[in-house]
Amino acid sequence: MKRVLIAKEWIGMRPFVWLLAGLALVSLADIATGTLYALHREHTLYEGRHWAADALLVLLLAFTLGASLIARELEDSTLAFLDGLPLRRRDVFLAKLAVAGGCLSVFALVEPVAGWLLHVALRHSVAEAVTAGTLGALALRNVVLVGAGLALGLLCGFVRNLAWALFAMAFALVVMLRSAWPRVAAAIDPTGLVADGWATHGFGGEAAWTVLALTLACLALAYALFAYAGGAALARLARFAARRGVVPVAYACAIVLLAIAASTQRDASKGGTGTGPGAAAVPTHAPTRAGARSGAHKVATAHYVFNVPAGMDVTDADLKAADGAFDTACKALGLTVRGMERIDVDLSGSVANTDGLAAHDRIRVNVHPGWENTLVHETVHALADRVVGQAHRQELDRMRVFNEGLARWAEPTRRASAQWRGEEELAVATVFRRRQLNQDNLLDGDALARDFDWELVYPLGARLVEALVARYGDDAPMRVLAVIAGSAFPRDLKGYELYRSAFQLAGFDINLVLNDYALALRRLDARYGQAIDALPRPRGLLVRDGGRAGIAVQFDRPAGQAPSLRVRFRPRDDSAMHELVVVDRFDVRAGRPVAWAPADQVVDGKLCYQVGVATGYAVMYEPWSCLPLRDAAR
C-alpha cells in the first residue's frame, strides 16, 4: 500500500518534475558555455562564484511544491478518501515528503555533481581542489536547504491563499535582521548554506545547525497539524485563510514589510559605503578574534566595508588598521578624497592564482600575511575606476601596462623589499637583453600577455609609471586618469595611439617617457647582463608519436638542477588569450621532457609553441615558434 501511495504522489508530481528537468538542462548548458570559457582563461570552474541565486531558486521551488502538497488534498477532497483506506496520515505525510524531497534534492545536486565530474575529467587542467568530501558537504547542505523550503511550504500550505504573503513576511524579516542583528540573519538564512559553493567545507557552523533545527521544528508542526487536526479542522483553517478581509490585509502587511526591508537594506548599503551624516552604520563587533565561533558579519571602517565570512580568524582592529592602505593608494594617485563612498571588500577570497581582484567597485582579497599590500594594489584599481567612470573604463582597461603598473608602483612592500625588487629587475632585464620587449607589445596589453608571462605586466608597468612620475611629477598619473575621464578623449584607440593621446592631452610627451624607460632598462641590463647570459635557454624540438604532436625540450647548455618547465600552445599566430593552453606535465622520451599538445591546438598542419622556464618570480618564455608537422621527428 505504501508503494502505491508513493506511486500516486509521483504521478501527481510529474508536471513539476518536467519543470525541474528543464531547469536542470539550463544549468548544464551554463556549465558547457560560460563555465568552460572561464576554465580557459583562469583554469578554474567555480572558484569565486557566489551561489546565492541558485540557492534562492531551490528554496523557492521547494516552497512552491511544499505549499501545494497538502493543499491539493484539501481542494480535491481526497483526504477523506485516504482516511478511509488502511493508511495512517503519517504514511501519507512521509510519502509526500519523500517524493517531493527526492525530486528537489536530485535537481539541486545536478549542477554540483556535473561540476565535480568535470573536475575529475579535467583534473590536470584546473587549479581548484574539489574533492569528494567537498561534494558530500555541499550535497548535505543542499538536502537541508530543500528540507527548509519544503517545511515552510508544508506549514504555510494549510492557509494556501496566504502562503506567499507569509513567505514574503519571512523574507522581509531576514532582510531587516541583516541590519539590526546580522549574526541572527546569517544563522536563519537557508540560502547561506550553499552560497559559498565549492568554498564550503564540512557541515558545521551556526547557519547549518540553526536552519536544520528550524526545519525539523516546522516539519514537526506541519505533521502535527496534518495528523491530528482532522479534515474538518483543516478545511476550516483553509476557509479562514480565504476570507475576503483576511487575504488583502495579509498581503498589504507583506508589502509594507517588504518596503521597510528594502528601505533598511538601502540605508545599510549607504551606511556601508557612505561617509555623510545620517548614513546608517554597519554593525561591528568588539575587536576580538573572529574564530569559528563567530558568524559572517560586516565591519565598517573609515574607507571600507569588510565582509568577513564565518569562521575567519581576523580581528576588527586589523581591519580598521587597513585604512592605512587607502591613504597609501590615495597618495600614489595624488587623489584627495572627501565624502567618497566606502569600498566594499569581500574577505572570502579571490579567484585561484591571484591574491586579489577589483571589479565593479568591489574588492575580493585573500587574507594572508602582508595582505594589506594587496589591498593597496586593488584599492588603486578601484579608485582609478571611479576617477575615469563607468563609461570610460574600457579605455583604462586597454592601457593595461599603465593600469597594473600604477597599482604595483603604489605597493609599499614591493617598493621597499630588496628581494622582490631584485627579482623583478632581473625578469625585466632578461626580456630587454634578449630583445623580446618592444614598443608594440609593451603598450598593447593583449600582445604582452601573449608574448610573456602575465606576471611581467606588473614590473614592466611599474617602471613605466616611475619614468612618468620622474619626468612630470607626482600628480602625473592622476592627470592621465582625468584626461581619460573627459568627454573629449577619443574612443576605440589601442596600443601606441591610445597612450600617445592620453599623454598628449595631459600635457606629456610619450616619446620622452619611453626614452627614459629604455634608459632605465639599459641600466638594469648592464647590472644583470652577465647573470642573464649565464642562464641556460630552452629550445623546442617538434616530435610526433602516432596521432600526437608535442615539443621535446632541450637546453643550449647544461642546466644543472632540473628546472621547472612550461610550454604554451596556440592554434594560430593571432589566437586570443583564452585560446592559449599551458602544459606543465611532461613525458620523458630519449632523455628529453616532452609536452604533448592538445589535439585542438594543431591547426593547418602546424604547431605553434613557446617554451619557458619558471623562475622565482615569473615564467621566462622564449619567442613563439610555429613548425609544420611534416618536419617533426619521430
Residue 472 has pLDDT above 60, yes or no: yes
In the chain, the largest separation of any two C-alpha atoms, in whole Å, equals: 97
Three-state secondary structure along 347-400? Answer: CCCCCCCCCEEEECCEEEECCCCCHHHHHHHHHHHHHHHHHHCHHHHHHHHHCH
Same domain, residue pair 115 and 211? yes
Final residue of a structural domain among 500, 534, 568:
534
Q: Which of 430, 451, 429 is nearest to 442 (CA)?
A: 451
Mean pLDDT over each residue of the chain, to the nearest integer? 77
**Minimum mean pLDDT range among 36-50, 302-316, 468-482, 602-616:** 36-50
In-domain check, residue 178: no
pLDDT tens column, 241-252: 666 666 677 667
Give the ranges where 181-274 is alpha helix by DSSP (H). 182-188, 206-228, 231-241, 246-273
Query: Residues near 598 by Cβ (< 8 Å), separated by ≥ 6?
Result: 569, 581
In-domain check, residue 449: yes
pLDDT of residue 97: 78
Is residue 415 helix, strand or coil? helix
Same domain, residue pair 124 and 70? yes
Residues constituting the chain:
634
What backbone phi and psi angles, to 5 degrees, belong to 525?
A: -60, -45
pLDDT tens column, 90-107: 777 777 778 777 888 888
H or E element in which residue 511 lies: helix 510-533
In-domain check, residue 106: yes
Average pLDDT over residues 596-614: 87
In-domain check, residue 50: yes
Which CATH number is 608's domain given? 2.60.40
pLDDT of residue 284: 36
Average pLDDT over residues 181-210: 71
Same domain, residue pair 335 and 458? no
Q: How far apart are CA 249 and CA 330, in angstroms?
A: 53
Residue 35 has pLDDT above 50, yes or no: yes
pLDDT tens column, 506-519: 899 999 999 999 99
pLDDT of residue 277: 29
Q: What is the end-to-end Cα distance of the chain in Å, rounded?
A: 70
pTM of the predicted structure, to 2 decimals: 0.55
- Cell representation of residue 481: 586618469
Query: Residues near 516 by Cβ (< 8 Å), separated by ≥ 6?
Result: 467, 470, 471
Exposed (0-12), middle (13-18) or buried (19+): which is 530, by Cβ within 10 Å?
exposed
pLDDT tens column, 434-447: 999 988 889 888 88
Same domain, residue pair 343 and 358? yes
**Minimum mean pLDDT range among 3-17, 72-86, 178-192, 335-349:** 72-86
pLDDT tens column, 147-163: 888 888 877 777 776 77
Q: How far apart are CA 237 and CA 217, in angstroms?
A: 20
Final residue of a structural domain among 512, 534, 556:
534
Q: How far apart are CA 592 and CA 554, in angstroms?
A: 6
Domains held by the chain: number? 4
In-domain check, residue 264: no
Exposed (0-12), middle (13-18) or buried (19+): which is 147, by Cβ within 10 Å?
buried
pLDDT tens column, 301-314: 778 888 887 767 67
Q: How far apart are CA 470 and CA 524, in angstroms?
A: 17
Q: State how far Cα 289 lies from the chain centre.
A: 26
Same domain, residue pair 573 and 500? no
pLDDT tens column, 340-397: 788 888 887 766 556 777 777 788 887 777 778 888 888 888 888 888 887 778 888 8
Q: How far apart are CA 552 and CA 538, in angstroms?
A: 10
Same domain, residue pair 396 and 384? no
Same domain, residue pair 80 and 205? yes
pLDDT of residue 275: 32
Confidence category of residue 523, pLDDT binned at 50, 70, 90: very high
In-domain check, residue 136: yes
Exposed (0-12), middle (13-18) or buried (19+): which is 377, by Cβ within 10 Å?
buried
Query: Residues near 329 by Cβ (< 8 Å), separated by ≥ 6?
Result: 335, 376, 379, 380, 383, 410
- Cell representation of residue 560: 644543472
Range of the domain at 27: 2-160+185-230
Q: How far apart are CA 300 and CA 437, in angstroms?
A: 44
Task: Rank 9-18, 69-78, 117-126 by mean pLDDT and report only the highest.
Answer: 9-18
DSSP β-bridge partners for residue 594: 552, 587
pLDDT tens column, 443-462: 888 888 888 988 888 889 99
For the chain, how big is the Rg over CA atoms in Å? 30
Same domain, residue pair 29 and 124? yes
What backbone phi and psi angles, to 5 degrees, belong to 570?
A: -145, 145
Give the rounded percent of residues in the chain with a pLDDT score beyond 90: 9
pLDDT of residue 589: 82
For residues 183, 187, 192, 193, the Cα torsion angle rounded to the nearest 10 degrees is 140
In-domain check, residue 279: no
Instruction: Give the sign of the dihedral formed by CA 152, CA 157, CA 163, CA 164.
Output: positive
Same domain, residue pair 24 and 119? yes
Angle (CA) 601 401 506, round 5°: 145
pLDDT tens column, 388-424: 887 778 888 889 999 999 988 888 765 555 666 788 8
Q: Which of 377, 350, 384, 346 is nearest to 362 (CA)?
A: 346
Same domain, residue pair 428 and 571? no
In-domain check, residue 475: yes
Which CATH number is 344's domain given? 3.30.2010
Cell 484539501 locates to 74
Q: How far apart are CA 132 and CA 112, in angstroms?
A: 11
Same domain, residue pair 414 and 370? no
Residue 522 has pLDDT above 90, yes or no: yes
pLDDT of residue 79: 58
pLDDT tens column, 544-576: 887 788 899 988 887 777 788 899 999 888 888
Give the amino acid at 591: G
pLDDT of residue 517: 92
Is residue 130 helix, strand or coil? coil
Same domain, residue pair 364 and 479? no
Output 51 or 154, whichever has higher pLDDT: 154
pLDDT of residue 287: 36
pLDDT of residue 330: 85
Confidence category of residue 274, pLDDT binned at 50, 70, 90: very low
Residue 43 has pLDDT above 60, yes or no: no
Final residue of a structural domain among 534, 561, 582:
534
Q: In 3-state terms, the chain is what percent helix, strand and coil (to 5)?
A: 60, 10, 25
Q: How far apart are CA 91 and CA 9, in angstroms?
A: 12
What backbone phi and psi angles, to 5 degrees, belong to 433?
A: -65, -35
pLDDT of residue 116: 75
Give the amino acid at 514: L
